[in-house]
Structure 1
Amino acid sequence: MLKLFKYLKKYWLQIAGLVILIFATVAANLQLPDYMAKIVNEGIIGSDNGLIWHYGIYMLLIALGGAVATIGVGFLAAKIATGFSKDIREKVFSRVESFSLIEFNKFSSTSLITRTTNDIQQIQIAMVLILRMALQAPITGIWAIYKAYNLAPSLTWLIALAVGILVTFIVTIFLIGMPKFRLLQKLVDRLNLVTRENLTGLRVIRAFNNEKIEESKFEKANVDLTTANLFVNRLMVVMQPLMMLVFNLTAVAVVWFGAHSIGVGNLEIGNMIAFMQYAMQVILSFLLMSIVFIMVPRASVSATRVSEVIETEPQIKDPQNSKKIATKENGLVEFRNVNFSYPGADTPVLEKISFSAITGETTAIIGSTGSGKSTLINLIPRFYDATSGQVLIDGVNVKNIKLEDLYSKVGYVPQQGVLFSGTVESNIKYGAT
């Protein structure tokens, strides 16, 4: 996740404004209990209606200011997170466009689709939570503990106990949930793969009457993903009532021990009410942080997957010292002692291939299924690079030609036709630009 934060640099001014508004929101929320204590201690007990109205108006204005600041925080957080995810998506897309077939085989098309859509969506959701809750919760918690200690030092141990219990819950859930978050994204990839295979191979499946087999494959992928999602959601469902239990027990404890302190004259009623509100603010801040800790691990897995794509350098690049194809020649293709092996393979697919495809003649490459015909053709436009030997066009090694120049010289018709979104005309003119 940290690797992607560099794309936030362009939003530094908005982030600075967000931090200011967060401090304003926290200050407003924590100022209200002070005025409440004064109203109870001085206004209600002292029967001073004027003072109640005076502090009541102050509280109303502070509450309105806090509401405006909260709206501003939500607006800026959404704007920054949306722009951040847009920049990452563009970066991923531009990187994928530069990939050769080697990189596509490494990631697979379905995984790249998931990383570009679902993974980046998870990062965007987590970024909103980080900008809103992860910044606001610690500030609120620390500030509220400070103010609560000043009001009633003898009751502060209740907050420490509640915070200790909450931290234990959060860490336990984090350790249990993290492996499942890693598994979840892989299962999404698997479901996308099975769905894509069914849609693209629908005619073949029907021709061989294998609908039941494909249905069982989809059912397994779907059930596995559903099971993992249920486990994660149950973790979150269990966490909320536990947090609320701690929240309510803390409130009862504050009233119990606070009443005893009031009885012996060590604490005023208004201060006890304010202390209770501060204690609730502390627990609420940890509750918000727990939500962040639940979402961030899943986003962290997604961020790692997205970073893998962005940081993967394509193996096939433009040469440093490129050469132009001579204009006097016209389309002579030569293979000179070419060998090719797929990455990680022990046996070469092509071995000692040498031939010339002369201009004006039709050259057919014939062989059985899996003999390497398509692989051989893919070496000409550099979808793959020959392991050894040379592939030349008009006497120039294709490795020494800029990819843009090479593609402009080579016409390529794939085995499987592809229709892009748009009109028939736009598809026909696709290679004319």
Structure 2
Amino acid sequence: MLIRLLREHLAPYRSWLAAVVAFQAVGVLASLFLPSLNADIIDNGVTTGDTGYIVRTGGVMLAVSLLQVVGSVGAAWFGARTAMSLGRDLRGALFSRVGTFSAREVGAFGAPSLITRTTNDVQQVQMLVAMACIIAVTSPLMMVGGVVMALREDAGLGWLLAVVVPALFVCVGLVVSRLVPNFRRMQIRIDAVNRILREQIAGIRVVRAFVREPYETARFGRANDELTDSALRAGRWMAALFPLVIWVVNLGSVAVIWFGGHRVADGDAGVGSLTAFLAYLMLILMSVMMATFMLMQVPRAAVCAERIAEVLDTRTSLGAPEHPEPLDPERSGWVDLEQVGFAYPGAEVPVLHDVSFSARPGQTVAVVGSTGSGKTTLVNLVARLLDVTAGEVRVAGHDVRRVAPEELWSQLGLVPQRAWLFSGTVRSNLLHGRPEAGEDDLWAALEIAQARDFVEALPEGLDTAVSQGGTNFSGGQRQRLAIARALVRRPSLYLFDDAFSALDVATDARLRAALRPATRDATVLVVAQRVSTILEADLIVVLEDGRVVGRGTHAELLAGCEPYQEIVASQLGTDEEVPA
């Protein structure tokens, strides 16, 4: 999986990778010539007292060293650019893929896991590529070249290479094979720590209200201890690797000096040749050590690559049709539900059964019902945030499953049940609805949404900072800003999913009165809990256990629909008296 991921996403940077290989080759070749030149100085200059030869050969060594520096710096520069570009592309690809997911896919992965995959996992793959650009070419070239040059200096000691190098590979392979399962457990436990931390931060007020700080502390402590345990196990194996490599290197050096010393004493080799052979052995073993460092990163990067590829290979259940149908401009705002049913995957009972109704521009259709009756699911089906499992939802005369999602969503102004604001400013949040909107459009939308007064009272007005989720505003203020954002868009279909629940009765009444003229040319679909919000709706659809048990105006339902009568009766004397 790691190789496939790198092959696909490194393809645009082949020229940079070629430059890395070229510079690395230059640096390695320069490194391989230095011990041989040093041996020549010892055997032909130092032992004979030829100072001129020493100076000339020393000058060549300086030039070769400079070439080695150029090769190393060039390879590091191109390698860093390649690794950073890969990280940028992977994060962009993950973000784009997650942006296409429906609630089903997001729920399957979990938000904490998706965040970890986009940040930590990508970073691990990026680090591997950065190391590979420096080491992957250098190590094999230096290893092969070192063996050739060492045998060229003294073939009689070649048997030492046949013993030391395989021994080093065995040690490295043993440790790396133990690292893979530990790194896999680490990534899963990082997800768990991330999830619990997000829950505790988001729900801090609930935790404090129920005095659950000790329990949450213990829960986080358990997840943290599990992560620490996995990290320590991996760390112990990684810590054992370096001493093993050093032990083999030192043992090999002692063997070269011992057996090489005997060959020098017997006149079979020169002092310079022995020095060069020892230097080449060190280069070979150092190349193995460098490869070891990269191999230490490979298991974790491989696990991360699997997790990244899992997201990139997941196709959304709400994909665009192969041959999308264009929306009919003459039917803009038309909404038709025909015998719609929906069941969540694995659920025993459908959420919606045989729901049918129609809405046209200029009409307001309200959906009411008890908690869990399927109201929000119905809105999500119209917006195609979910796909029906039975029946058909048509917008502008076309089944929403046969329309390009972007074209469908461009017709909608959605205010979700939980009003969500993005970090930025009030202005930037309103411009999410229509980026080209002017300041007059923004203030007009705020006026209709009954938000102008409190926005004008803010220290910086439209440029007042908004924290993530809009937590620096009250629930009612967030709802009104979310409604204003939908109004800025001027869609042909408004979807208000319990968007007035945080408003007081007086503000709710003023907002509804201001909305009527502003939305007279559009279709309005409202999900509401409060009866006063939907009194003037052209059609009220009553849901109970996912089925339509009544439809009509307020007066018609009050006269002949028992579930609606119960809803109205439950609110008498609590919110306001609802006239018959």
CA contact (8 A) 2:164 2:248 kept: yes
What residue identity is the alignment partner of 1:2?
A: I
Higher alpha-carbon deviation: 338-347 or 108-117: 338-347
Tell me: CA distance 1:404–1:149, structure 2 relative to 1, closer, same or farther (3 Å). Answer: same
The superposition leaves residues 354-388 of structure 1 with CA deviations (integer Å, 9 ceiling, x where unpaired) of 344565234123123x4433222211111110111
Deviations 1:102-122 (A, max 9, x none): 221221211111111111111
Q: Could you tell me how far apart the structure 2 residues matched to 1:266 and 1:382 are?
A: 84
- Cα distance per residue 1:139-180 (max 9 Å; x no partner): 100110111112212212212211122111111111111001
Shift of residue 328 of structure 1?
A: 4.4
- 1:90-105 map, 5 Å: 90-105=92-107
- Tell me the residue number matched to 1:139: 141
Q: RCO (CA 8 Å, sep 6+): is it higher in 1 or 2?
A: 1
How far, CA to CA, are the matches of 1:348 and 1:154 in structure 2?
A: 81
Answer with 203-212 or 256-265: which moved more: 203-212
> 1:3 aligns to what?
4
What corresponds to 1:127 in structure 2?
A: 129
1:318-355 deviation digits (Å, cap 9, x = unpaired): 23343444444464433322222222334323233334
Tell me which residue corresponds to 2:62. 60
Write 1 or 2 for the structure with the bigger share of strand. Answer: 2
Match of 1:20 in 2: 22
The aligned counterpart of 2:295 is 293
SS of corresponding position for 1:392: strand
CA distance in 2, matches of 1:377, 1:422: 28
Amino acid corresponding to residue 424 of structure 1 in structure 2: V
2:429 counterpart letter in structure 1? N
Which structure 2 segments of 5+ residues have no match?
436-580
Q: 1:427 corresponds to which residue?
A: 429
Greater mean deviation of Cα atoms: 32-41 or 159-168 = 159-168
2-structure distance, mates of 1:144, 1:352: 77
Q: 1:386 is matched by which residue type in structure 2?
A: V
**Residue in 1 that maps onto 2:213:** 211
Question: Matches of 1:295 and 1:304 in 2, distance apart?
Answer: 14
Q: Aligned-pair RMSD on alpha carbons?
A: 1.7
Q: Distance in 2 between matches of 1:219 and 1:415?
A: 34
Q: What one-letter code is carried by the residue in structure 2 that aligns with 1:338?
A: V
Q: How does 1:237-386 map to 2 (within 5 A)?
A: 237-329=239-331, 331-357=333-359, 360-368=363-371, 370-386=372-388
Name the CA distance, whole Å, in 2 between partners of 1:120 and 1:394.
42
Which residue of 1 is the match for residue 150 of structure 2?
Answer: 148
**Range that drifts further, 314-323 or 187-196:** 314-323
Cα deviation for residue 244 of structure 1 reads 1.1
Q: Is the partner of 2:338 in helix, strand or coil?
A: strand
Q: 1:205 to 1:357 in 2, by over 3 A?
A: farther
Distance 2:247 2:324 in 1: 69
Q: Deviation of residue 206 (structure 1)?
A: 2.1
Which of 157, 162, 165 does residue 163 from structure 1 map onto?
165
Separation in 1, partners of 2:239, 2:296: 11
Task: Tell me what 2:420 maps to.
Answer: 418
Residue aligned with 1:91, SS: helix
Pairing of 1:181-220 with structure 2 (within 5 A)? 181-220=183-222
8 Å contact from structure 2 (residues 367, 375) kept in 1: no
Q: Is the alpha carbon distance of 1:99 and 1:232 closer, same or farther for their aligned partners in structure 2, counting shifts above 3 Å?
A: same
Moved more, 232-241 or 19-28: 232-241
Cα distance between partner residues in 1 of 2:35 and 2:321: 68
**Residue of structure 1 in register with 2:75 after alignment:** 73
Counterpart position of 1:41: 43
User: For structure 1, which segment, 378-387 or 420-429, has the greater mean C-alpha deviation from structure 2 after superposition?
Assistant: 420-429
TM-score (normalised: structure 1): 0.95
User: Which region of structure 1 is more displaced relative to structure 2, 121-130 or 330-339?
Assistant: 330-339
Q: Does 1:175 align with 2:180?
A: no
Q: 2:108 maps to which residue?
A: 106
Summarize deviations over 1:236-279 as a string: whole Å, max 9, x none: 22111111111111111110000111111111111000000000
Paired residue secondary structure (2:248): helix
Amino acid aligned to 2:110: S
Change (3 A) 1:321 1:274: closer
Contact 1:357 1:363 in 2 (8 A): no
Q: Which structure: larger Rg?
A: 2
May I ask how many residue pairs the two structures share in their alignment?
A: 432
Task: Provide closer, same or farther for how the CA distance between residues 260 and 273 of structure 1 changes in structure 2, counting only shifts above 3 A.
Answer: same
Residues 329 and 57 of structure 1: CA distance in aligned 2, closer, same or farther (over 3 Å) = closer
Please, which moves more after superposition, 342-351 or 194-203?
342-351
SS of the aligned residue for 1:430 comes to coil
Structure 2 CA distance for partners of 1:372 and 1:166, relative to 1, 3 Å = farther
Distance in 2 between residues matched to 1:410 and 1:18, nearest whole Å: 50
Percent sequence identity over aligned pairs: 36
Q: Does the 8 A contact of 2:340 with 2:388 survive in 1?
A: yes
1:178-203 deviations in whole A, cap 9, x for unaligned?
A: 00111111111111111111122222
Stretch deviating more after TM superposition (300-309 or 267-276): 300-309
In structure 2, how many angstroms separate the alpha carbons of the residues matched to 1:335 and 1:170? 64
Q: Secondary structure at the match of 2:382?
A: coil
Which residue of structure 1 aligns with residue 470 of structure 2? none
TM-score (norm 2): 0.72
Distance 1:329 1:50 in 2: 95
More moved, 69-78 vs 329-338: 329-338
Which deviates more from structure 2 when the two are superposed, residues 386-395 or residues 186-195? 386-395
- DSSP 3-state at the match of 1:363: strand
Q: Which secondary structure state, in structure 2, belongs to the residue aligned with residue 319 of structure 1?
A: coil
Answer 1 or 2: which has greater helix percent.
Answer: 1
- Answer yes or no: is the 8 Å Cα contact 2:352–2:374 preserved in 1: yes
Could you tell me whether the CA contact under 8 Å between 2:79 and 2:130 is conserved in 1?
A: yes
Seen in structure 2, the aligned counterparts of structure 1 residues 344 and 139 have a Cα distance that, compared at 3 Å, is farther
